[in-house]
Amino acid sequence: MTDLTRPTIRLRPKTDSRPLRRGAPWVFANEAVTDRRTKAMVPGTIAVLEDADREPIALVGVNPNSKIIARVLDADPNAEIDEAWFAARLTRALKMRERLFDAPFYRLVHAEADGLPGVIIDRFGDTLVIQPNSAWADTLIEPLAAAAAKVTGASCVIKNATGRARALEGLDEETTVMTGAVDGPIPVPMNGATYMADLLGGQKTGLFFDQRPNHAFAARLADGARVLDVFSHVGGFSLASLAGGASHATAVDGSAAALELAEQGAQAMGAADRFATRKGDAFKTLEALAEEGETFDVVICDPPAFAPNKQSLDAGLRAYERIARLAAPLVRPEGYLALCSCSHAADLTKFRTACNRGIGRAGRSAQLIHTGFAGPDHPLMPQLAESGYLKALFYRLLP
């Protein structure tokens, strides 16, 4: 029996319910009946999703103001979304991370793939940063935060309200410390390097854990090498390269604050004498380095999402091609070029084609030696292609 006191949201007659019964996580606004009753639902309402014949499918979080009008929370329409429910999901997520990592620095929850749609939780030792990027999670942030603290034993919980995803849900941008306190940047050990994460004022949650395996691969190429890390943020690839034995690494970014954190990380590693930063626009800096006659053994470009949606795809692919064209001439013969994309709208084939074209336009020939993706703390949901957003292509450039 379904709880008759709960509100309901119903699929349109022509919407196929089978994908949702098999694990698809989203209902788009054009797939649901959006009558006045549905439109009047408060964003974050927990409701029962029904098919066109009024048969219950799942329990969902509803936001009538979003293109994703409903997110599947539980296949049981009678489930109670309370602290115990959150604790069960979080315990399951934690169990895998503790098996994978020997230190408590990782993505604890990766949204739909971990059964918490629109929720990101990154762990920095004793501190958790929660991004409730969907209305249902924002509404239930208190029991979510309480369960997260209880399951992990963390003493500090931060609600991070920045980012494009919250804006699309019509949510505020107020970041708050919910429990505990944060006293400056937190040192994060990863791949032998030390990163300084600004959990309150940095990008996203303060650090990008998703590139961990790609940082490690780049470090294997960097032993004894001069490395250029473009769009470096807090020194992701450059500090990993220094830990891998690079003779020197230069980090390029447009943010002075991010570069200062990178310098602090290099200092903490005892590698400040092998590290330099250069503030500026990445495209202009690549052009300037070419004019200066600079070359490097390893060049890595890890830009922000140039193609965050389908509308920006063509422009984004042109930007990826341009990055490849400008970076390739800076790589010494038989050196290495790594090109990354976090744009889910640009799939691997399209991204690789753009990079290949850019390398070719630079007059270089290449071997593609490795394709990297996000680490295992960023699991993929098979029914959600968008969760496979990160790609990293490693090329060896020939004479």
Residue 330: beta bridge partners?
none
From the candidates 156, 301, 340, 342, give the one annotated as an active-site residue: 342
How far, in Å, are 207, 260, 274, 278 from residue 263 at the CA level? 15, 5, 11, 11
Q: What is the DSSP string of 368-380?
A: EEEEE---TTS--
Write the single-letter amino acid at 150: K
Q: What is the DSSP string of 277-343?
A: EEES-HHHHHHHHHHTT--EEEEEE----S-SSGGGHHHHHHHHHHHHHHHGGGEEEEEEEEEEE--
156 is catalytic: no
Coil/strand/helix, residue 62: strand
Pairwise CA distance, residues 148 & 130, whole Å: 9
Query: 381: closest CA among 67, 26, 99, 124?
Result: 26
Local structure of residue 42 (DSSP, 8 states): P
Coil/strand/helix, residue 29: helix
State the catalytic residues.
342
